[in-house]
Structure 1
Amino acid sequence: MAKPYYVLCCLALFFGHSTLAQVVARVTVKAGAVDRHHSIVRTPFAAEAGYTYKLVGLENGRKVNYVPQMEDGIMTWRLEGDLPANTERQYDLVREKIRGVWRAANPEEGVSFEEKDGGYTISPGSFKALHYRAETMEPPAGVDTAYRRGGFIHPVWTPSGKVLTQIHPKDHYHHLGIWSPWTDTEFEGKTVDFWNLAKRSGTVRPIASPRNRRSNGRVFGGFRQVQDYVVLGNPDRTAMSEELEVIVYGKPDENITWDYNSTLQCASAAPITLNEYRYGGGFAIRGAEEWNNANSKVITSEGKTRKDADGSVARWFIIQGELKGGKGGLLVLSDPNNFNSPQPLRVWPENDQHGQVFANFSPTKNKPWPLVPGQTYAQRYRIVTFDGEMTAEEAEKRWKDYAVPAEVTLESVRRK
């Protein structure tokens, strides 16, 4: 996800082995120039095995007690309520011996990971956020078997359970909920299409890998999954590898927030170029089946709509409209460090495809992206799903909070 700006004093904290709770660091969170609301805070921290940690402080005159989640050398938690611009909060980081394995005390606590239906379903509390398809899915009966594929997200739900995505629509059987559609690429002198599966040129396959990970916890849950971009032939050959990380955060308000982080690298000694093309990689969504040009709308950070969004650039976009059971939608935020940011958009105009909804952050829409062996290339997005409607003002606030994370300082406390 987006890397926070931080000042980290004493990255590795060396402590004794007292069984009593002990303050080991002072933590300061500074809002900077951005108003914060239920902000996600992530900062590097070397947690010591065998111990659990909590953050204790005062917010609005009330004592608060956060239990952050420690994973991959990162400490993560969510602030409660508002942290206005140019203010700060301080906490004691308290360490104590682990007394058992954490388990959710009630259905509303934490984020769970469940392996089911050929993939993974991630749920904050009792709400389902999304399902990732890890196994190969067959296309509908009677449809060309070339459309077999895994490695996509569907369904995506609003907090009340309305479905925001669709797969295998009759007009485009290769549309798969949410995915990265790398369409026009060049590998070893040949053009390879990893999206238009009927060409039998390329495909995407989730694979077993020691880099794969699944997690659940108090603050977030999700997975890391390696996906191969395979050139079909005799034999097949992997041209590009993707490490897809999805992080779903606990639900402090009426929305569900999750990160879609894609890291690409060459799979061999041969480079690959993601060619300039109107559709390309990044983040794509095929919207809900019931959406059309009369009951849904697209809004971008630059004030564009389906009338003029296609070919424009944006920091975020909203898709929202009428669903079964009421209104709902999602906001997609693009990290400012992504390639070719602010990224170009491919958005179906309102009269295309009978008004159906397709939107794509397409970083190679107006320039190629050459990938060379030995390097990694990250694309990061944050998604907020909601019931009802979201305003452009709310979207802009969320983008600022995501794009310019709060500054976190840790200062070790020495034992006397």
Structure 2
Amino acid sequence: MIEGAFLFPNHSAGDPALRSNRFFVLLLSLILSTSFIASTDNASAAEHSIVWKAPTGVPAGTPLFVKQETDADESLQLVEAETGTKIPLQKSGEEWIGLFPREIKEGETLDFTVSAVPPVQAASAVFNIVQKEGCLVVSNRGREVFRYRTDSLEPPMGQSNIYRRSGYLHPLYTPRGKLVTGDFAADHPHQHGIMYAWTNTSFQGRKVDFWNQSAEQGRIEHRKIVAMGKGPVFAEIEVKIAHVDLTSGNPIDVLHEHWKLRVYDIGPDTNDNSLPYIIDFESVQEAATDEPLKILEYHYGGFAIRGNESWLGRDPNLFLTSLGMKREDGNHSRPNWCRMQGELGRGTAGVVLISHEHNFRAPIPVRLHPAKPYFCWAPLVLGDFEISKQNPLRSRFRIVSYDGEGSLQRLHQLSRNFSQPVWLDAR
């Protein structure tokens, strides 16, 4: 467009006729070029092309994130140029999320198109979230994935009611329906599925133990369902939890905690579908008063999981960490992930907790129990710290439950993808 100003040599500048013609051509050129820009912008709003080269291998079912500005009610999809594969996208906040439909090799280059999906063609939700039996029950393609407990569950007969609890995950299943978590174990009834609790703490100069319920010093309880959502790619719940001090004579909220859980679709149920359930978990803990909670050095406490009771015993191979360490040598090591895997019924199943590389004191020490099917991520092993209003504690973990022998390559890839996710910019 600008080049049009140089179509006329300088010796024509004194000729009125030529000046008039030049003005007309320039004006026409500007009108045409302006129309062309508007047309290009309109086209780009409906469709974008993105070329992406995989820096590492990516397993099928791994989340990918897309930056895209669209209308609030618009549905989007990615289309792989070479295969024509359509990848549904679902919005969460300001980001769009999809799932790789196949394994991507390191160095492989993919050409995607981001396009709007007509409402009649938009993929339907493959998740269900219902409130029943004192829980939020999340299911994917007709199969229950996990339950988050909103109401305090009474312990089984023979156990004291001091062990009643809410604000935790249990049961957690594999895609083939194997139960990988435990609750109200006879040996440790205070260990509840997947939970977050501190052991050795101080509040207003008083010792408070939120982990060992038999001490009756602290209580953790569900307070509120903040949000629930579902779509073609994931289901998401957000809840609020309170950590309550019981040592002063009157219960005092010490910490307020916000949980956000997102579970991804595993796709259609086929014979060759060996994808695991992937649940991304985020917790933010902050002081409920102007006084901080002091977390004191101790050998366990934090984000924890109690496994299926079938795994009770001293099996040296029950645990495996990303460092290759097991039960005997892995306690208080600092891996990126820890796996608990063993025989369940007629087959093998397992569950993995992956710690985000930006977590507090990452890589976080992991506590591996010598005889019980439980472990926890325990930053307090490294010394004291405080949680306050000014310095809340944000923690992110990826929970993976699976059937069969877990692929170590897949676990390493899922761990890397969790801390360094794939981002496609279509803005």
* Same fold? TM cut 0.5: yes
Matched, 1:165 2:181: yes
Contact kept? 1:205, 1:228, Cα under 8 Å: yes
Superposed, 1:118-137 pairs within 5 Å as: 118-137=134-153
Instruction: Indicate the residue corresponding to 1:74 in structure 2.
Output: 95
Q: Is 1:249 matched with 2:276?
A: no
**What percent identity do the matched residue pairs reach?**
25
**Partner amino acid, structure 2, of 1:399:** S
Bigger strand fraction: 1
Q: In the TM superposition, what whole-angstrom CA distance separates every residue of 1:214-265 from its partner, at most 9, and x where no partner exists? A: 1111000131111011112443111111111111100044121111211111
Matches within 5 A, 1:141-220: 141-208=157-224, 212-220=226-234
| Residues 21, 27 of structure 1: alpha-carbon distance in 2 compared, 3 angstrom cutoff | closer
**Structure 1 unmatched ranges of 5 or more:** 1-13, 105-109, 412-416
TM-aligned CA distance change 1:80 to 1:102, over 3 Å: closer
User: What CA distance in whole angstroms lies between the structure 2 residues aligned with 1:50 and 1:250?
Assistant: 22
Name the residue aligned to 2:286. 265
Distance verdict in 2 for CA 1:366–1:190, change over 3 Å? same
Secondary structure of residue in 2 paired with 1:279: coil
Maintained 8 Å contact 1:299/1:392 = no
CA 1:202–1:112 in structure 2 vs 1: closer, same or farther (change >3 Å)? Answer: same
Equivalent position amino acid for 1:250 in 2: D
Aligned with 1:390: secondary structure?
A: coil
Structure having the higher helix fraction is: 2
Q: Distance in 2 between matches of 1:262 and 1:163?
A: 24
Shift of 1:393: 3.4
Partner of 2:71: 48
The Cα shift of 1:128 comes to: 2.1
Q: What is the alpha-carbon distance in structure 2 between the residues aligned to residue 321 and residue 118 of structure 1?
A: 30
The answer to whether structure 1 residue 240 and structure 2 residue 263 are counterparts is no
The answer for unaligned runs of 5 or more in structure 2 is 1-37, 268-272
Partners of 1:79 and 1:388 lie apart in 2 by: 22
The Cα shift of 1:55 comes to: 1.9
Quick one: which amino acid aligns to residue 251 of structure 1? Answer: I
How far does residue 169 in structure 1 lie from its aligned partner after superposition? 0.8
Structure 2 CA distance for aligned equivalents of residues 251 and 44 of structure 1? 23
> Which residue number in structure 1 is paired with residue 83 of structure 2?
62
Aligned partner (choices 218, 225, 232) of residue 239 of structure 2:
225
Task: Give per-residue Cα distances to partners, 1:91-149, cap 9 Å, x unaligned.
Answer: 22223564599644xxxxx2222222211121221332211111111122242222121
- Which of 1 and 2 has higher RCO (CA within 8 Å, sep 6+)? 1
Residue matched to 1:403: 419
Deviations 1:297-321 (A, max 9, x none): 2111111111111121111111111
Aligned partners of 1:28 and 1:410 also within 8 Å: no
Q: Mark the CA change 1:143 to 1:297 in structure 2 (over 3 Å): closer, same or farther.
A: closer
2:347 pairs with 1:331: no
**Count of residues paired in the alignment:** 380
1: CA distance between counterparts of 2:211 and 2:174? 27
Q: How does 1:226-375 map to 2 (within 5 A)?
A: 226-232=240-246, 233-252=248-267, 253-254=273-274, 255-281=276-302, 283-291=303-311, 292-294=313-315, 297-349=318-370, 352=371, 356-375=372-391
Note if contact 1:29-1:409 (Cα within 8 Å) is conserved in structure 2.
no
**CA 1:67–1:395 in 2, change beyond 3 Å: closer, same or farther?**
closer
For residue 41 of structure 1, what is the amino acid of its counterpart? L
Preserved contact between residue 111 and residue 248 of structure 1 (Cα < 8 Å)? no
Deviation track 1:308-351 (CA, whole Å, cap 9, x = no partner) reads 111211111111111123211112211111111111011112xx
User: What RMSD in Å do the two structures reach over aligned CA positions?
Assistant: 2.5
| More displaced 10-residue stretch of structure 1: 336-345 or 388-397 | 388-397
Q: Secondary structure at the match of 1:128?
A: strand
- 8 Å CA contact retained: 1:321, 1:327: yes
Structure 2 counterpart of 1:236, one-letter code? P
Specify whether residues 186 and 293 from structure 1 end up closer, same or farther in structure 2 by C-alpha distance, changes over 3 A only: same
Flag the 1:302–1:295 CA change in 2: closer, same or farther, 3 A: closer
* Rounded Cα–Cα distance in structure 2 between residues aligned with 1:206 and 1:181: 13
Is 1:26 matched up with 2:40?
A: no
- State the alpha-carbon separation in 2 of the partners of residues 123 and 117 from structure 1: 15
Partners of 2:67 and 2:424 within 8 A in 1: no
Q: Judge conservation of contact 1:231–1:239 (CA < 8 Å) in 2.
A: yes
Amino acid at match of 1:92: T
- Asked whether the equivalents of residues 49 and 112 of structure 2 are also in contact (C-alpha less than 8 Å), the reply is yes
TM-score (norm 2): 0.82
Shift of 1:45: 4.1
Cα separation, 2, equivalents of 1:215 and 1:258: 14
Q: Determine if the alignment matches structure 1 residue 112 to structure 2 residue 128.
A: yes
Aligned to 1:10: none
